[in-house]
Amino acid sequence: MSLLEIKDLTIHFPTEEGDVRAVNGISLSVEEGKTLGLVGETGAGKTTTALGILRLVPEPGEIENGSIVYKGKDILSMQEKEVQDIRGNEISMIFQDPMTALNPVMTVGDQVAEVILRHQNCSKTEAQKRMVDILAKVGIGADRAGDYPHQFSGGMKQRVVIATALACNPKLLLADEPTTALDVTIQAQVMEMINELKAEFQTSMILITHDLGIVAESCDSVAIMYAGQIVEYGSLEDIFDHTTHPYTIGLFGSIPSLEKKVHRLQPISGLMPDPVNLPTGCCFHPRCPYADERCAQEAPAAAEVSPGHLCRCHYWETVRGKEAEDNV
């Protein structure tokens, strides 16, 4: 059994301008000790999905449908108290922007110790000791525990955020673009640290990112998200070596390759659709080079390309064939 199994998760934000359809029936699963990469452009619904797992979707968002089964229990049908016991303890989240994720009027030590005191039945002195330990693990000395967030650089703040997330040895870590707000030089360090700690604690992880490079380094399986749907889902090899969905192909086309000589990068033309007015049929059809009338009318079901490799495209076989030709 998987550690986390999401089925048909749908999250909408009813607003005056209409329903913002952020997440539209996604299904995925995370195995124990494995990492799932959740990849997509800004606005694809990645963060909302992660917040949905913790039941922290901001107002006026609503989880309309679906189930999130963690260790055999549906988080969505739990009491608020039960969810609170899970948050920060069994499932914890690393937030995207370390600059704003820390309380400016509380020392970083207190912020880390807070989560330990909340979940680990221990005394204050014991919590202090563990706080110092976990800060040391992310490379922050004990002398800095009494400092406030404004005394830290961005990279150091992200370390504090990671320490907070890992303080209770969670089973599942939701890392929401943990390196996006950081300098390139720091990015590698932080990713390396997350992977080391993850291995040490045997933690599973959902890594939200738009950086395919990071995915290749750290993930076991990958879900490509577009307009609130998972358009392609499979193991790392499936996605990287047997790319099938036109959107995924587009993503790879937008990054420079070391192996192939390319004159110009080929970005995906057009923009992400407005989640209030999603296109009919396949959401990707207005930007898809393979689209025809059928794509505009009929939403594609998830086709099984190979065992465990799913792709939401009517013409995945054609696309696959064309790609294979091009690569020869």
Partner 1 sequence: MLKYILRRLLMIIPVLLGAIIVVFTINYFSTTDPAMVKLGLSASDPVKLEAMRETMGLNRPYIVQLGEYLWNLLHGNLGDSYVYSKTVWELLGNRIPNTLRIGLGAMVISVCVGIPLGLVAALHQNSALDYITTAIAVFMNAMPGFLVAVLLMIVFGLKLQWLPTSGADSAKSFILPIIAAGIGPICQDARMTRSSVLEVIRQDYVRTARAKGIAEGKVITRHVLKNSLIPILTMVGSGLGTCLAGSILVEMIFNIPGMGMLINSSIMSKDFITVQGCVVICAIVVALANLLTDLAYAFVDPRIMAQYTGGNKKKKKAEEAA
Q: Is 92 in the site for partner 1 (CB under 8 A)?
A: yes
Site for partner 1 in 215-274 (CB under 8 A): none
Both tokens of residue 217? 């380094």
Look at the alpha carbons of 288, 292, 297, 299 in this order and tell me if their dihedral is positive or negative.
Answer: negative
Q: Report in angstroms how near the CB of residue 149 gets to partner 1 at its nearest.
A: 9
Q: Is 151 in the site for partner 1 (CB under 8 A)?
A: yes
Which of 164, 179, 221, 235 forms a contact with partner 1 (CB under 8 A)? 164
Sheet hosting strand 229-235, strand order edge to edge = 91-94, 172-176, 204-209, 35-39, 221-226, 229-235, 309-311, 303-306
Return the HEC string of 106-137.
CCHHHHHHHHHHHHCCCCHHHHHHHHHHHHHH
Question: How many residues bind to partner 1 according to rule CB under 8 A?
Answer: 31
Which of 20, 30, 63, 102 forms a contact with partner 1 (CB under 8 A)? 102
Q: Is 76 in the site for partner 1 (CB under 8 A)?
A: no
From the list 123-131, 143-151, 180-188, 250-258, the region that binds partner 1 by CB under 8 A is: 143-151
Q: Report in angstroms how near the CB of residue 132 gets to partner 1 at its nearest.
A: 18
**Among the listed residues 178, 213, 225, the one whose alpha carbon sits nearest the alpha carbon of residue 198:** 178
DSSP state of 268: P
Which of 93, 145, 225, 311 forms a contact with partner 1 (CB under 8 A)? 93
**How buried is residue 49: exposed, middle or buried, by Cβ count under 10 Å (0-12/13-18/19+)?**
buried
Which of 29, 84, 120, 195 forms a contact with partner 1 (CB under 8 A)? 84
Q: Report in angstroms how near the CB of residue 103 gets to partner 1 at its nearest.
A: 4
Q: Is 209 in the site for partner 1 (CB under 8 A)?
A: no
Q: Is 103 in the site for partner 1 (CB under 8 A)?
A: yes
Radius of gyration from C-alpha coordinates of the chain: 21
Q: Is 277 in the site for partner 1 (CB under 8 A)?
A: no
Both tokens of residue 315? 């013409």
CA distance 257 to 264: 11
Which of 8, 106, 153, 317 forms a contact with partner 1 (CB under 8 A)? 106
Q: Is 141 in the site for partner 1 (CB under 8 A)?
A: no
Q: Is 26 in the site for partner 1 (CB under 8 A)?
A: no
Q: Is 148 in the site for partner 1 (CB under 8 A)?
A: yes
Which of 8, 74, 124, 150 forms a contact with partner 1 (CB under 8 A)? 150
Q: Using the minimum distance from each CB to partner 1, give the nearer residue, 23 or 230.
A: 23
**DSSP state letters, 129-181:** HHHHHHHHHTT--GGGTTS-GGGS-HHHHHHHHHHHHHTT--SEEEEESTTTT
Report the interface residues with partner 1, using CB under 8 A. 54, 56, 58, 84-89, 92-93, 95, 97, 100-107, 114-115, 118-119, 143, 148, 150-151, 161, 164
